Chains A and B, each alone.
Chain A
Amino acid sequence: DTEVTQTPKHLVMGMTNKKSLKCEQHMGHRAMYWYKQKAKKPPELMFVYSYEKLSINESVPSRFSPECPNSSLLNLHLHALQPEDSALYLCASSQQDRGAEKLFFGSGTQLSVL
C-alpha cells in the first residue's frame, strides 16, 4: 500500500462549526505532515509530526489543532475557522531517514468555510 488516504474529500463548514480532517497511511512512515494549499499557489507547511510527536508548527493559528493518535493516523481538528481558511488541505508522509525522504501526498480535503 503506497497511498495516503484523506477523508473527507470535500467539507463545507460554518464559522462556528467544529470538524476534523483525517489522514491515514500504512507505509510505515514515521513523519507525517499537514500542508495548506490555496488555488494556484504552492503547498504551505502547517505541521510536522515525527515519531508521533509534534516537531514543527509553522505558527499556525490555534483554531487548527493537529493530533497524531498513532504512527498511521493524523488528524486536523478545526474550530471557529474564518472564510480565508478555505483551501485544499493536504496530508503527506515520509520516512525519517536521510535519502528516503520522498513525500507521499494524499488527495486532500477541499475545505470551504462559509
Chain B
Amino acid sequence: GENVEQHPSTLSVQEGDSAVIKCTYSDSASNYFPWYKQELGKRPQLIIDIRSNVGEKKDQRIAVTLNKTAKHFSLHITETQPEDSAVYFCAASMGGGGNKLTFGTGTQLKVEL
C-alpha cells in the first residue's frame, strides 16, 4: 500500500518568513495530493491540492509543487502569519471519491511574532 513520509515534524519560523514542508510517496499509481491544515481541536481543512498532470499550483500565499519522477511534493507558504500556526498534513491517493487517502505524519508549524 501507499506510504507517505513528511518532514520536518516541527517547523518554527518568524512572521513574514517562508515555510516549506516536504513529502514523499511510494506508490507510483497515486495521482492526487492534497494538503490539510488542522488547528488545535478543529477538523482538518483542505488548503490546496494538486494532481499528477500538474507540476505546480499556487493560491495566494500557498503553493504546492510536485515532482512525479522523484515522488516528491512540497508545500510552500510565503509571508507567514501567526494564523498559519497549525499542523499540516500531506496526503496521497489514486484520485476519485471512495479511495483511500493516505496521510503523512504531520508538521507542527509555529509562526512566531
Contact = CB atoms under 8 A, between A and B. Distances in A.
Contacts of B97: 29-31, 50, 94-97, 100-101
Interface string B39-64: 00011111001010000000000000
A4 to B, nearest CB: 8
B99 A101 contact: yes
Contacts of B44: 43, 90, 103, 105
A31 B96 CA distance: 10
Interface string B20-38: 0000000000001010000
Interface of B: 32, 34, 42-46, 49, 51, 87, 89, 93, 95-106, 108
Interface residues of A, number: 29
Interface in A69-114: 90, 94-103, 105-108
Contact of B106 (A42, A55, A94, A100): A42
Interface in A46-71: 48, 50, 55-56, 58
Contact of B95 (A29, A44, A90, A98): A98
A107 B98 contact: no
